Amino acid sequence: MRPEPKEKLDLRALKLWQIHGGIGTAILSIIVFGAAAALIILLEWSHWILIIPAVLVILHGILEILVLPRLRWQRWRYEITENEIDLQRGVWIVERTLIPLARVQHVDTLQGILMRHYDLATVTISTATGAHEIPALATETASALSQHISSLAQVSDDVL
Amino acid sequence: MCFEPCRLHPAGALLSAVKILRNSIIPLVIVLVSQGIQTWVLIAGGILLLVASGWGILSWYRFTYQIKDNELNVHSGIFVRKKTLIPRERIQVIDFNQGILQRLFGVVTVQIETAGGTEPEAVFTAVAKQDAENLRQTLLPAKPVEIEAETTGVATPKASKKISFSELIIFGITSTSGFGLVAAFFSGIFTLLHQIRWRPDLEQAYFMQIYEQIVASILFTLIFAIIVLLFLWLLAVIGIVIKYGRFTVTRAEDRLQIVYGLLERHQISIPVQRIQAVRFTEGLMRQPWGYGALKIESAGYALESGEKALLWPLLRRRELINFLQEFLPEFAYDIPLETLPTIARNRYIFRATLAMSPLALAGIPVAIFWLEWGWVTLLLLPLAVFSGWWQYQDAGWGCQQNMLAVRFRNLFVRTTVLVPRHCMQSLTIGHSPFQRRVDLVTFGLDLASMAYFELVDVSKQEGEDLMQWYTGKQSLVVDHPRINNQDDLE
């Protein structure tokens, strides 16, 4: 039995995801409450219709702020061994991906505005087919990691 | 040999003019049909002809290529000048194609491709055959074989095989386009029957005579349709014979060369090291007779179109291993396949039934409100059960040394894929809560040819074994050296 990857994401990632969830909930509430208000004012529907957007927003908020970010954070793990990158993620469907370092083409780090505020960065690992992400690492860890991966990948490349 | 800038064969001017005319033929026909032959239409046609030929000549004049300092240097474009530099060592594939017009002039279209990108880096529309051969010899020194496989070239091919006429005919008859015709035929019958049902006046006895006439005419139509169908099928077979006629595959050192086409001659040569996977596909019409088609997947090079990837059109399942040993020994592994655990069977059946049920159940309201026939859709359910069971039966995988074999079924086609470990870009093992309860996983792998293969419901233990094999150090081709300066990440 292969053990789980060792490293966890930065704890601040949890906060970041919760904020993302909050923003999403705010946008959703503007849309659904706006639609409900339009129905009430223009078509004179009953005020009770407001229950629907309220339930939607509350459910979305609970899921996206309280429940899912925590589950996601607890599940997310990664590890870079001498031969491969090992990723584990997923709340409902748990996925474990192995990427041999020899297959890595290049590594990027990426930082949004919010992420910069929290000093976080995302590492993107590209193979010939597509990209795999390690989201929300401390900027320092992220750049060290991408350096490390690309140096290892280069060595493997030379061998092939 | 074009160390000075040189032009294409003059036929290139004609070819590009013809191409422009061909692109404008549909608007031209529309104008002709709607307006009739009028003076201004003729004048416009004349102008178009002039512009096309002028453009053809100019673009031929502007197009020069040159081999200089180990680089292929291509200049082209009339208004927008384009210069392309391709370093010689980056050139991976040089393909020749020969259309009917090109055959007339004894020229070929040369496509030069590098590893990256999906489009050929340079296309020479008309190069004399001998020049093309020389060009390839200069740019890709490991010379494969002559363009016409019949003329024995300088190179001595290790193995070569040409399709026989009977094989070609069987290939044509069992091809899916024939199958599509049958499907179209049956849907035609259904619409006809449908129409009888919908004659509102049929109930009335005194229209019986008309009814009989209708039935007679339908019978006539049916017979006529069968004849038309047979004719269309024959046409499809002829089309395939023309397209894939004289299909020849040749293995010369580290290259595979595929040549086919009776009128338009296609020639593809692929370095073996760039082959990412081999697929053996057994269609509904071929599997019962033990036949299938063999295809290859290659990286970087645009091989999306099925026929380009075809390595051999018609192969018996039991001859597969022999064929591979002869032409592609790198992939010649006869890997015994592990089937899925029994517990997966009901899950396969359940998923197939679930996917089909909206369509099947839609028949109930249809039957209640419109058509008593609507119940027919319920027959889809046993079909779905059967297809789920079939998918379960055919699913399997196995590995041997550095080769992974995966077999799966998509409704009508059973596919067996052979992938070398070092071609797998990543391996993903996933499981949903339902799978976790019964200790099953799904594994997926992606290839540089942009293909993604997945096998659902493998036992968890086998998933672990697969991961072990993928990362395995026991029989890796290359031993990665240990890195001494491993930085501490934290």
The beta-strand segments (E) located in B326-462 are 338-339, 396-400, 403-410, 413-420, 424-431, 440-447, 452-459
- Listed range (B25-29, B207-211, B278-282, B398-402) with the worst mean pLDDT: B207-211
Q: Are residues A97 and A117 in the same domain?
A: yes
Residue A152 and residue A136 share a domain: yes
DSSP B483: P
Last residue of a domain, one of A73, A92, A107: A73
**A47 shares its domain with A120:** no
Confidence at residue B148, expressed as pLDDT on a 0 to 100 scale: 42
Domain termination site, one of A46, A73, A100: A73
Distance CA A53, CA B67 (A): 69
Question: What tens digit of pLDDT does each residue of B458-483 get?
Answer: 999 999 989 989 987 544 333 333 33
Q: How far is B322 from chain A (nearest CA, A)?
A: 29
Element (H or E) spanning B210, and its range?
Answer: helix B208-244
Q: How many CB pairs under 8 A join A and B?
A: 90
A151 touches chain B (CB under 8 A): yes
Same domain as A153, residue A117: yes
pLDDT tens-place string over residues B385-434: 999 999 999 999 998 888 999 999 988 889 999 999 988 889 999 999 99
State residue B301's pLDDT score.
Answer: 52
CATH code, domain with A109: 2.30.29.30
| Residues of chain B found within 8 Å of residue A141, distances taken between Cβ atoms | 489-490
Residues forming beta bridges with residue B73, ordered by sequence position = B66, B85
For chain A (length 160 residues), average pLDDT per consecutive 10? Answer: 85 92 94 92 87 93 93 92 90 92 84 87 85 89 86 60
Q: What is the mean pLDDT of residues B441-447?
A: 90
Specify whether the CB–CB gap between B338 and B462 falls below 8 A.
yes
For residues B118 and B468, the model is more confident at: B468
Least confident of B24-38, B310-324, B345-359: B24-38
Average pLDDT for chain B: 79
pLDDT at A155: 61
Tell me: pLDDT of B305 over 60. no
In this predicted structure, the answer to whether residue B204 has a pLDDT above a threshold of 60 is no
A153 inside 8 A of chain B by CB: no
Do B430 and A159 make contact, defined as CB atoms within 8 angstroms? no
A3 CB within 8 Å of a chain B CB: no
What range defines the domain where residue A43 resides?
8-73
Q: Which residue has the tokens 């002869």?
A: B326
Residue A2 lies in a domain: no
Instruction: Among A93, A98, A130, select the one facing B430 at the smallest CB separation.
Output: A93
Kindly determine whether residue B425 and residue A80, on different chains, have CB atoms separated by under 8 Å: no
* Token pair belonging to B147: 């363009």
> Are residues A160 and B446, on separate chains, in Cβ contact within 8 Å?
no
Q: Which two tokens stand for residue B409?
A: 């079924």
How near does any CA of chain B get to the CA of A54, in Å? 30
pLDDT of A63 reads 93
Q: What pLDDT is stored for residue A14 in this prediction?
A: 92
Q: Label residue B354 by pLDDT band (50, 70, 90).
A: very high
Q: Is residue A34 part of a domain?
A: yes
Closest Cα partner for B396 from B341, B344, B340, B348?
B340
Q: How many domains does chain A have?
A: 2
Q: What is the pLDDT of residue B156?
A: 45
Q: Where are the alpha helices (DSSP H) in B3-91?
A: 11-23, 25-35, 39-62
Distance CA B204, CA B455 (A): 58
CB contact under 8 A, A128 and B299: yes
What is the pLDDT at residue B181?
57
CB contact under 8 A, A90 and B482: no
| B95: pLDDT strictly greater than 70 | yes
* Residue B449 to residue B451: CA distance in whole angstroms: 5
Q: What is the DSSP letter of B340?
A: P
Q: Are residues A154 and A90 in the same domain?
A: yes
Q: Do the Cβ atoms of B448 and A80 come within 8 Å? A: no
Structural domain includes residue A1: no
Helix A68-75 and helix A11-43, axial crossing angle in degrees, nearest 10? 150
What tokens appear for B452 in the block? Answer: 């993604």
**How many residues are present in chain A?**
160
Q: Where are the beta strands (DSSP E) in A42-100?
A: 77-80, 84-89, 94-100
Residue A132, domain member (yes or no): yes
Res B169 pLDDT > 80: yes
Distances (CA, A) of B134 to B110, B148, B149: 12, 15, 16
Which of the four pLDDT bands, split at 50, 70 and 90, describes residue B222? confident
pLDDT at B455: 92
Contact yes or no for B430 and A147 at CB 8 A: no
Residues A64 and A83 in one domain: no
B112 confidence band (pLDDT: 50, 70, 90): confident
Q: Is residue A52 in a domain?
A: yes
B402 contacts chain A (CB < 8 A): no
Q: What is the mean pLDDT of residues B42-53?
A: 87
Residues A151, A84, single domain; the answer is yes
ipTM of the predicted structure? 0.83
Give Cα B437 to chain centroid, integer Å: 39
Tally of helices (H runs) and strands (E runs) in chain B: 13, 21
Q: Which has the higher per-residue pLDDT, B438 or B189?
A: B438
Looking at the structure, do residues A87 and A50 belong to the same domain, yes or no? no
Cross-sheet strand order for the sheet of A131-138: A106-110, A120-126, A131-138
Flag whether A108 is in a domain. yes
Are A66 and A82 in a shared domain? no
CA distance B346 to chain A (A): 20
Q: How many C-beta neighbours within 10 Å does residue A96 have?
A: 22
| Chain A positions in Cβ-Cβ contact with residue B472 (cut-off 8 Å) | none
Q: Do A2 and B446 touch (CB under 8 A)?
A: no
**Domain-located, residue A36:** yes
Same domain, A154 and A82: yes
Q: Mean pLDDT across the stretch B382-386?
A: 91
Same domain, A51 and A82: no
Of A29, A53, A73, which residue constitutes the final position of a domain? A73
Judgement on whether residues A52 and A36 belong to the same structural domain of the protein: yes
Note the pLDDT tens digit of each residue in A51-68.
999 999 999 999 999 999
What confidence score (pLDDT) does residue B489 get? 34
Whether A97 maps to a domain, the answer reads yes
A106 touches chain B (CB under 8 A): no
Distance from CA of A99 to the nearest CA of B (A): 5
